[in-house]
């Protein structure tokens, strides 16, 4: 019934429901964050941290319920059958839209440990969510450009050092670390500016994933290679498309991969052989992903043609 509403009305209603769900669960989360801050006992603080994750999972469940009652989406998901919440994973994915985060949270909820994203330090100022991400130990990173480091060499390696500290914190319990290797959402303008060798992807960045391998490689069970496609939507796919129900089909493929060998404790910035090794690993992964996206798009077009009604 809600699908019959004008798109701007449906989008506004969905945004309102998302906002109310966020305000409700953030208010509960902030209460326990305050309790955690004033209690010095480490054991109790650890239990509260686990409770904060359960609150965040409830928020995700609420978002999934809202999408279910407001939108008719065809989900085509493969490869999540053998996952477990008792293992730690590194998730790497292509990045098509802000909707990707909701997609990942939806398909992985209660199947794997709670997803934690590497975030730009400026995002801590996002109303409500910034504090929530901080309370849930999301890693906030400040990345410096090459030009800036040339003027301030004393800051070289500081971002890597901060990332290692966050990765050490993750070792206390099973966790999933999420990394969008492209570093930004795909659109054709960026694709052209980069002169990307891939048809459906931007050029991947190997530094972040190399640092996770180096810091947590002995703790991670596997890499989850995730491919997200919106076969009926031309990029860029906007978050508003998700709110208004203009994403009729979401296709996700998940592959479970082994970690590269001999990566623990290696310094990516200083070890040229390690740089080449991880860059080759990432490039091979991206070549296969590009072919997979092309196959998904082709299969979808063929399937749609077969189901078209005759004139």
Tell me the three-class secondary structure of the chain, residue by residue: CHHHCCHHHHHHHHHHHHHHHHHHHHHHHHHHHHHHHHCCCHHHHHHHHHHHHHHHHHHHHHHHHHHHHHCCCEEEEECCCCCCCCCCEEEEECCCCCHHHHHHHHHHCCCCCCEEECEEHHHHHCCCHHHHHHHCCCCEECCCCHHHHHHCHHHCCHHHHHHHHHHHHHHHCCCEEEEECCCCCCCHHHHHHHCCCCCCCCCCCCHHHHHHHHHHCCCCCEEEEEEEECCCCCCCCCHHHHHCCCCCEEEEEEEEECCCCCCCCCCCCCCHHHHHHHHHHHHHHHHHHHHHHHHHHHHHHHHHHHCCCCC
At 2, the pLDDT band (50, 70, 90 cuts) reads: low
pLDDT of 310 reads 41
Nearest of 114, 117, 143 to residue 130 by alpha carbon: 117
147 has pLDDT over 80: no
Q: Does the structure show a pLDDT above 70 at 180?
A: yes
pLDDT for res 193: 93
Mean pLDDT, residues 293-301 = 89
pLDDT > 90 in the chain, percent: 49
Residue 86 has pLDDT above 80, yes or no: yes
Kindly compute the dihedral angle of the four CA atoms of residues 187, 64, 109, 163, in this order, to the nearest 10 degrees.
Answer: 50
Kindly tell me if the per-residue pLDDT of 146 is higher than 70: no
On average, the pLDDT of the chain sits at 86
CA angle in degrees (0–180, nearest 5) for 155-157-162: 100
Least confident of 192-196, 205-209, 256-260: 205-209
Q: What percent of the chain has pLDDT over 70?
A: 88
Question: In which band, very low, low, confident or very high, does the pLDDT at 309 lie, cut at 50, 70 and 90?
Answer: very low
Task: Please report the domains of the chain, with CATH numbers, ordered by start residue.
Answer: 73-306 (3.40.1130)
Query: Is the pLDDT score of 167 beyond 80?
Result: no
Point out the least confidently predicted range of 91-100, 149-158, 184-193, 239-248: 149-158
Give the predicted TM-score (pTM) of the model. 0.87
The reported pLDDT for the residue numbered 160 is: 64
State how far the Cα of 273 lies from the Cα of 287, in Å rounded to an integer. Answer: 21
> Is residue 11 scored above 80 in pLDDT?
yes
pLDDT for residue 258 is more than 90: yes
């Amino acid at each position: 019934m809600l699908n019959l509403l004008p798109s701007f009305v449906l989008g506004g209603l969905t945004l309102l429901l998302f906002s109310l769900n966020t305000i409700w669960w953030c208010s509960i989360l902030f209460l326990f964050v305050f309790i955690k801050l004033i209690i010095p006992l480490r054991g109790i603080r650890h239990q509260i941290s686990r409770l904060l994750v359960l609150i965040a999972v409830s928020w995700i469940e609420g978002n999934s319920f809202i999408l279910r009652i407001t939108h008719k989406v065809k989900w085509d998901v493969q490869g999540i059958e053998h996952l477990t919440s008792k293992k730690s994973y590194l998730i790497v994915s292509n990045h098509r839209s802000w909707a990707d985060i909701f997609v990942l949270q939806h398909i992985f909820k209660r199947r794997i440990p709670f997803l934690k994203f590497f975030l730009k330090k400026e995002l801590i100022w996002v109303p409500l969510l910034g504090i929530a991400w901080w309370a849930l130990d999301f890693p906030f990173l400040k990345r410096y450009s090459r030009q800036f480091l040339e003027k301030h060499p004393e800051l070289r390696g500081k971002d890597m050092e901060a990332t290692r500290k966050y990765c050490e914190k993750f070792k206390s319990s099973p966790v999933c670390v999420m990394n969008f290797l492209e570093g930004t959402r795909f659109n054709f303008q960026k694709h052209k500016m980069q002169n990307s060798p891939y048809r459906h992807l931007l050029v991947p960045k190997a530094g972040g994933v190399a640092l996770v391998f180096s810091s947590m490689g002995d703790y991670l069970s596997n890499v989850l290679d995730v491919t997200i496609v919106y076969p009926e939507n031309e990029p860029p796919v906007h978050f508003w498309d998700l709110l208004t129900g203009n994403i009729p089909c979401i296709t996700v493929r998940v592959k479970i991969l082994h970690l590269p060998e001999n990566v623990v404790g290696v310094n990516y910035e200083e070890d040229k052989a390690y740089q080449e090794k991880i860059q080759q690993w990432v490039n091979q992964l991206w070549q296969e992903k590009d072919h997979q996206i092309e196959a998904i798009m082709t299969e979808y077009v063929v399937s749609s043609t077969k189901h078209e009604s005759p004139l």
